[in-house]
């Protein structure tokens, strides 16, 4: 649309010239008392003034219309390019350029919006946006499929009718929180993982929830864990049974002469001593099997936790006393720190102490191999997600990735006299605290165990 009419060249200059000449002539006519010409000159000046005011009003209206159109996202307005009246021509050209620039920005934003909407709509991760009134503002196709509703009817009222439990689970999820949700849709079981994040839209809070079906992933990890466990169990059992089999075979052959057993008169002291030594080996390996089974029971029968709230500062003082003697005797530098914001902890103190002792013992075993400085640190801090973190680091030897993957597998150990159950038990204890334990080892060297709950 055109924002203004076209004016002839130097139109404003003509009006100003007429205005100047009219009032000058009026002054001369008044001096000479020529009242009729005076009146006509005054009338001409007033008409010129009216045209000038009208011109500037139209210009102001054009500028106002321009800003109104920008405010309303209307970029169809255009200003006359043939207006040659000095600065007004430059102003209109600048406004036209600015208008074209805003048009390009709007088209680019629309293109980006369509692009991102398509990405969100076809994402394999379910995405759901909910405002502070628990009304759904956005729900992509994957989230609709998990919820059992059509993408065309992705409205919170529809969801409350067709799948109220799903809706309540999403509403109760606090920002920064993550939960698993068992979902049954059309006789199909799903284990969904919900994670909520708080974002802002026009200064208003919006809860963004990501949804993933983790059942297959958990099942594959569970199968892989069983495979690793069976591999380690088989290895340990074979190590314990091989000497028993060898000794049994040797004793069996010692008491045979061809196809007949030896007679008492054929036995001597050497045979008896060999038999005693063989039975001793069988006894030791049998005891090893019993210890192996008892260790397995320790992993599978961790006592139920008794949660209590206790002071972190007081707990750290107790840990200093526990490890002080051994650390000093081994010349190991120990750094113990806690974030001031972490005042209390809710956990089973005995079980958490067991985890700390297991990890600290591993750290001390690691730094003993160092020829130079031996350093261990225990830091307690708060994560951005308001989770408690306990980081136990040491400067012991680097642990390669293939060993890092197995280090929490029951009975796996790289120590000569290790049982391989300490870290496995620690992992189970952290699980029953709804937490986790992880390992990061870098070749600088730098190894850290992180407890999170």
pTM for the complete prediction? 0.46
- Gyration radius of the chain over CA positions: 43
| Strand ranges (E), 169-258 | 178-185, 188-201, 204-213, 256-257
User: Rounded to an integer, what distance in angstroms lies between the CA atom of residue 8 and that of residue 14?
Assistant: 10
| DSSP string covering 386-416 | S-EEEEEEE------HHHHTTTTSTT---ST
CATH 3.30.450.20 is held by the domain 123-213? yes
List phi, psi (to 5°) of 433: -90, 10
The CATH architecture of the domain made up of 308-452 is 2-Layer Sandwich (3.30)
The residue assigned the tokens 């439990």 is 165
Three-state DSSP class for residue 208: strand
Q: What is the DSSP letter of 2?
A: B
Strands 188-201, 333-338: pairing is unpaired
Pick the CATH number of 218-300 from 1.10.287, 1.10.150, 2.60.40, 1.10.8: 1.10.287
Return the closest-CA partner of residue 232 out of 299, 155, 157.
Answer: 299
**DSSP labels for 40-93?**
HHHHHHHHHHHHHHHHHHHHHHHHHHHHHHHHTT----B--TT--STHHHHHHH
The Cα–Cα gap between 251 and 226 comes to: 37
pLDDT of residue 87: 54
Q: Could you tell me the residue ranges of all domains in the chain?
A: 11-113, 123-213, 218-300, 308-452
pLDDT at site 84: 46
pLDDT tens, residue order, the chain (453 aa): 444 444 444 566 677 777 788 878 878 877 877 878 888 878 887 888 887 777 777 777 777 777 777 677 666 667 665 554 555 666 677 777 877 787 788 788 778 777 777 777 778 888 888 888 888 888 888 888 888 888 777 666 788 888 888 888 888 888 888 888 887 666 566 788 899 988 888 788 899 999 888 776 665 666 666 666 666 667 667 766 777 777 777 777 777 777 778 777 777 888 888 888 888 877 877 776 776 666 666 655 666 788 888 888 888 888 888 888 888 888 889 888 888 777 788 888 888 888 888 888 888 888 887 888 889 999 988 877 778 889 999 988 888 877 877 777 766 676 666 666 678 778 888 888 888 888 888 877 678 898 988
Residue 161: burial class (beta carbons within 10 Å; 0-12, 13-18, 19+): exposed
């Amino acid at each position: 649309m055109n924002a203004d009419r076209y004016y002839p060249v130097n139109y404003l200059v003509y009006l100003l010239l007429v205005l100047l000449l009219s009032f000058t002539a009026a002054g001369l006519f008044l001096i000479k008392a020529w009242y009729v010409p005076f009146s006509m000159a005054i009338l001409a000046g007033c008409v010129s003034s009216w045209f000038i005011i009208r011109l500037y009003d139209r210009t102001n209206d054009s500028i106002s219309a321009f800003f109104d159109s920008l405010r309303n996202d209307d970029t169809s307005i255009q200003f006359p390019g043939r207006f040659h009246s000095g600065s007004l021509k430059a102003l209109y050209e600048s406004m036209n350029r600015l208008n074209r620039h805003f048009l390009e920005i709007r088209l680019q934003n629309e293109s980006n919006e369509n692009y991102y909407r398509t990405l969100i709509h076809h994402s394999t991760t379910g995405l759901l946006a909910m405002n502070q009134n628990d009304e759904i503002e956005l729900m992509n196709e994957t989230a609709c499929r998990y919820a059992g509703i059509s993408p065309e009817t992705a409205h919170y009222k529809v969801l409350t009718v067709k799948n109220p439990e799903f809706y309540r689970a999403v509403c109760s999820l606090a920002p920064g929180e993550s939960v698993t949700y068992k979902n049954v849709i059309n006789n199909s079981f799903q284990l969904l993982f919900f994670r909520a994040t708080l974002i802002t839209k026009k200064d208003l809070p919006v809860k963004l929830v990501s949804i993933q079906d983790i059942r297959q992933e958990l099942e594959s990890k569970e199968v892989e864990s069983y495979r690793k466990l069976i591999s380690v169990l088989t290895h340990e059992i074979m190590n314990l049974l091989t000497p028993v089999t060898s000794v049994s075979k040797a004793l069996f052959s010692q008491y045979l002469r061809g196809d007949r057993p030896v007679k008492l008169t054929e036995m001597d002291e050497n045979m008896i001593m060999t038999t005693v030594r063989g039975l001793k080996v069988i006894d030791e390996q049998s005891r090893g099997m019993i210890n192996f089974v008892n260790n397995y029971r320790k992993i599978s029968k961790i006592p139920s936790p008794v949660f209590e709230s206790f002071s972190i500062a007081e707990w750290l003082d107790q840990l200093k006393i526990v490890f002080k003697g051994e650390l000093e005797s081994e010349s190991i530098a120990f750094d113990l720190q806690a974030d001031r914001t972490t005042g209390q902890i809710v956990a089973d103190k005995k079980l958490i102490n067991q985890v700390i002792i297991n990890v600290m013992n591993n750290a001390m075993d690691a730094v003993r191999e160092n020829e130079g400085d031996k350093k261990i640190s225990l830091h307690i801090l708060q994560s951005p997600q308001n989770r408690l973190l306990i980081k136990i680091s040491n400067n012991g030897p680097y642990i390669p990735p293939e060993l890092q993957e197995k280090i929490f597998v029951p009975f796996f150990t790289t120590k000569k006299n290790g049982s391989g159950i300490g870290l496995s038990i620690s992992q189970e204890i952290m699980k029953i605290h709804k937490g986790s334990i992880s390992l990061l080892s870098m070749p600088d060297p730098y190894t850290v165990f992180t407890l999170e709950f």
